[in-house]
Amino acid sequence: MKILIVDDNSDDRRLLRYIVEKKGHEAVEAGDGREGLETAALQRPDMIISDALMPGMDGFQFLRAVKENPDLKTIPFVFYSATYKGYKDVELAISLGAEAYILKPKEPGELWDEVELIMKEGARVKTLTPEIIREDEEYLKRYSQVVAEKLEEKVRELEEALDLRKKAEEELRRHAEEINDLYNNAPCGYHSLDTNGIFVRINDTELSWLGYARDEIIGKRNFSDIITPASMKVFLKHYPVFKERGWVRDLEFEMIRKDGTVIPVLLSATAIRDADGNFLMSRSTVYDIAERRLLEAQLLQAQKMESVGQLAGGVAHDFNNILSAIIGYGNLLQMKLREDDPLRSYVDPILTAADRAAGLTKSLLAFSRKQVMKLGPVSLNDLIRKVEAFLARLIGEDVKLATIPSEEDLTVMADAGQIEQVLMNLATNARDAMPSGGSLTISCRSVDVDDACAAAHGLDAPGTYALISVADTGQGMSERTRERIFEPFFTTKEVGKGTGLGLSIVYGIIKQHGGHIDIASAPGAGTTFGIYIPLLRKGSEGSAPAVAASYPRGSATILLAEDDPETRRMTHLLLEEFGYRVIEACDGNEAIEKFRSHEGQIDLIILDVIMPGKSGTEACDEIRKTAPDAKVIFMSGYTPDIIRAKGIAEEETDFLSKPVTPDVLLKKVREVIERA
C-alpha cells in the first residue's frame, strides 16, 4: 500500500514513516493540509493518516477538501492527533468522512493494529458508550500527566539554560571590563577614526598626552586637527598606500597638545573593512617617543664626547713625543751652560713653556676623562695657582677671575688632574651663566664638620675638611633646576650647546674622593658651588723626596726601542751624556734582533709601549722567553686606558709617562739597574 502521512511535526512523520515502511508499505510525506492535498492528487495513495491541528490548512479542512474531490473521496482517511477537545472532535471527524480518530501517543504496535483494523474493516465508527468514554478519559488523564512531566522537565532545562546564560553574560561583562581597562590604561595610545578622519574612539593614555577631555575629541576632532603641518604631509604621502594595502607601520608624527606643545610619536595603523572590502574605519597604535628622541640625542652627544676623548688621546701621544724631545734637548742644553751664561735666559723659558705644555696635555686628558685616578698628597693652594692661567683663557676676557688661596697650606689626598677637571667644568659652567660678562671667584679654606653638619652635607664622617668655593655672578638657577643639576644628561642649555655630563662628572669625582658638593643659587643672584674634601692629617703626607745634587750617572748598556726618531735620538744623547752605552731599535722586531745579537751584554731595555710591527709588550714577552730576568722600562705618550689595554699595569710595572724629564728618566734607569 501507499500511505500518505500529513503532519507538521517532523519527528511524528519520521515515526509513522518508520512504522509504515517496517510493515512493508510505501510512505509519502507532507507538512500540512495544503501540501497533503497536492500530494494526494499526484500520488493517489491507498490511505491518508493526518494530524488535526496544523498551520495553513488544518486536518479538518484537509479532510473536507479530500472528500469533496471526486478522485480522492474514496481514500480512507485517519486522524492521528494529540489535539483532543472532547467527543465533538471525533464526531466532527466521523461526520466529515474520517475512518477513525486515534489519539497520540500510541505505541507503534497499537497504532499499527488500529490502522490494519481500519484497512480490513473499512470505516469504523466508535459507539460512544460510557465504558469507551471512561477509557478515553483515563487515557487522556495519563496522557496529560505525561505531558505535564515533560513540560516540567522542559521548564527545568530552560531554567538551567537561563542560569548558564546569566553566568555567560556576567563572564562576558567581566571580560569586557578587563579589556576596556587594558585598552584605556595601556602604555601606548589607541584611537579609531571613521572614513572622514573623525575620532570615534580614543583611550585614556592618549587623552592624557593630548590634554583633551573625551567629549572634546569623540565625534568632534579630526586627526588633521591635532598634527603639525609637516606631519600632515607625511600623512598625505602614506594615506593612498594605507587605503590600498590596509596598514602602515612606524610613521613618525608630531601631535599637538591642547596647550599647543608638540609631542613626537610613532604611529601604526590598520584598516577595518566590511565583508565586501569597503573601508569602514582605521585603528591606530601611538607611542610617545619624546624620551627616545632625548636618549638618541644624549647618545649622540656621548658618542661625540667619546670621539673627543679618542682625539685627545691621539693628540696627547704625538704632543708628548714632541715635548719629550723639547724637554730633553732643553735640559741637555741647560746642563752645558754655565750658571752665568747669558743664553740661560733663553733656555729656562723654553723649559718652563714645555712644562706648561705638558700640564696642558694632562688637563686635556682630564677633561676627556682619559686620565686614570691616581691619589696622592695635593696642595690645594698650589693646584689653584697652577690652573689659574688656564682657567683665565678658558672663561675669556669678559669674565674677571679671582683666586683666594687659604692662609694655611691645605693638603688633601686626591688626583690632581681630576680636581683640575672639576675646576675647569665649574668654570665652564660659570662662563656660560655669564654671557655678558661677570666675575668668577675660586677660594679655599678649612672647615670643621660635626656629626650634624656631616649628615646635612652628605659627608661620610665628621672631621676637618678643605672647602673649595667656586662662585659666579651669573644668572643663577631655580630650585627645580638645583634639584636636578647633577643628573647625567640634564642640561638647561640649548641643543648643541651642552652634553649634560659636566656636572655629573664633577659630582662623581668628588664622591670618589670621599667628599661632597653642594650648591647655593637663586635666579639673578649667581651660583656658588661648595666642594668638601677630607684634609690629609699632618704627618701622613710622607717625607718629601730629597733633591739630588746632580743627575745620577752610570756605565751600563741599554737597549732603547722607540719609533719616534726625535724622541729616540734625544733619549740616546741624554743616556750617553751620563755614561751609558746605548743600542738603538726603531720598533719591536728590531729590538728583539738587537737583543739576540748582543746577548749577555744588555743590562736594561727601554721599550716604547706602542710601536709598528711588534709592540713593546710583545717584544718584552719574546725577549723574556730566553732571558726571563731581563730588566725592562716601558715608556709611552698614550693615555693610561690605552696602556692598560696593552697589558701594562703602571702600579705593577716600571713605567714612565711621556714627556719624561731627564732627572726622572735617569733616576728610574739607576733604580731598575741596581734593583736586586
Dist. CA 38–CA 34, nearest whole Å: 6
Peptide bond between residue 612 and the one before it cis (omega within 30 degrees of 0)? no
- Which of 503, 510, 500 has its CA nearest to residue 302? 500
Whether residue 548 is predicted with pLDDT greater than 70 in this model: the reply is no
pLDDT tier at 127, thresholds 50, 70, 90: very low
At residue 651, the pLDDT reads 53
The fourth-level CATH superfamily of domain 557-674 is Response regulator (3.40.50.2300)
CB 271 within 8 A of CB 282: yes
Q: How far apart are CA 107 and CA 452, in angstroms?
A: 105
CA distances from 554 to 514, 662, 669, 670 (A): 44, 14, 9, 7
pLDDT at 604: 92
Report pLDDT for 485. Answer: 72
Half-sphere exposure in the Cβ direction for 415 (13 Å, CA): 21
- Residue 128 clears pLDDT 60, i.e. is over it: no
Q: What's the average model confidence in pLDDT over 67-86? A: 82
Whether the per-residue pLDDT at 495 is higher than 50: the answer is no
Distance separating alpha carbons of residues 642 and 320, to the nearest angstrom: 15
* Per-domain boundaries in the chain: 2-126, 189-288, 372-540, 557-674
CA dihedral for 228, 230, 236, 242, sign (positive or negative): negative
Query: Rounded to an integer, what distance in angstroms lies between the CA atom of residue 670 and that of residue 247?
Result: 78
For the structural domain made of 372-540, what CATH number should be given?
Answer: 3.30.565.10
CB within 8 Å of 467: residues ≥ 6 apart: 444, 445, 446, 447, 530, 531, 532
pLDDT at 545 over 60: no
Query: Quick one: what percent of the chain has pLDDT higher than 90?
Result: 17
Dihedral (CA of 202, 204, 210, 214) sign: positive
Task: Report the 10 Å Cβ neighbour count for 245.
Answer: 10
- Coil, helix or strand for 401? strand
Quote the pLDDT of residue 140. 58
327 touches 355 (CB < 8 A): yes
Q: How confident is the model at residue 321 (pLDDT cuts 50, 70, 90)?
A: confident
The domain 189-288 is placed in CATH, from the list 3.30.450.20, 3.10.580.10, 3.10.129.10, 1.10.40.30, at 3.30.450.20
Pairing, β 279-288 against β 262-273:
antiparallel
d(CA 240, CA 271): 12
pLDDT band at residue 641 under the 50/70/90 scheme: low
pLDDT at position 86: 56
**So what's the pLDDT on residue 539?**
47
Identify the residue with better confidence: 546 or 190.
190
Separation of alpha carbons 473 and 216, rounded Å: 49
Q: Output 640 or 590, whichever has higher pLDDT.
A: 590
**pLDDT for residue 597:** 92
Query: 252-303: per-residue pLDDT in tens?
Result: 999 999 998 898 999 999 998 888 888 888 999 999 888 887 777 767 766 6
Minimal CA–CA distance to 334: which of 319, 357, 359, 352? 352
Q: Which long-range contacts (CB under 8 A, 24 or more apart) does 208-214 make?
A: 209/255, 209/257, 209/263, 209/288, 210/255, 210/257, 210/258, 210/263, 211/257, 211/258, 211/259, 212/258
| Arithmetic mean of pLDDT over the chain | 80
Q: What is the pLDDT of residue 69?
A: 92
- Residue 6 clears pLDDT 90, i.e. is over it: yes
**Secondary structure string (H, E, C) spanning 7-58:** CCCHHHHHHHHHHHHHCCCEEEEECCHHHHHHHHHHHCCCEEEECCCCCCCC
Instruction: Give tens-digit pLDDT for 201-227.
Output: 999 999 988 999 999 999 888 998 889
Is the separation of the CB atoms in 242 and 269 below 8 Å?
yes
Classify residue 118 by burial, with Cβ atoms within 10 Å: 0-12, 13-18, 19+: buried
Rg, C-alpha atoms of the chain: 53
Q: Is pLDDT above 70 for 546?
A: no
Average the pLDDT over each of 8-22, 364-378, 457-471, 578-592 and give the range with the smallest value: 364-378
Region 449-464 average pLDDT = 77
From the list 169, 265, 493, 512, the residue with the least C-alpha distance to 374 is 512
**Residue 363 pLDDT more than 60?**
no
Predicted model pTM: 0.40
In one-letter notation, the amino acid at residue 306 is E
> Does the pLDDT of residue 138 top 70, yes or no?
no
The yes-or-no answer to whether 2-126 and 557-674 have a common fold is yes
Better-scored residue on pLDDT, 103 or 313: 103
Task: Give backbone dihedrals phi and psi of 95, rounded to 5 degrees, phi first.
Answer: -65, -30
Q: Residue 518 pairs with which residues in a beta bridge?
A: 530
Looking at CATH, the fold of the domain delimited by 2-126 is given as Rossmann fold (3.40.50)
Distance CA 531, CA 380 (A): 12
pLDDT recorded at residue 295? 77
* DSSP 8-state symbol, 127: P
- Give the model's pLDDT for residue 413: 87
Residues 6+ apart with CB under 8 A from 487: 500, 504
Q: What's the rounded Cα separation, in Å, for the pair 500 and 508? A: 14
- Using DSSP's 3-state secondary structure scheme, residue 220 falls into coil
User: 373 and 418 in contact (C-beta within 8 Å)?
Assistant: yes
- Judged by phi (left if over 0) then psi (alpha if -120 to 50, else beta), residue 260 lies in left
Q: Distance (Å, rounded) from C-alpha 30 to C-alpha 7?
A: 7
Strands 189-194 and 199-202: antiparallel
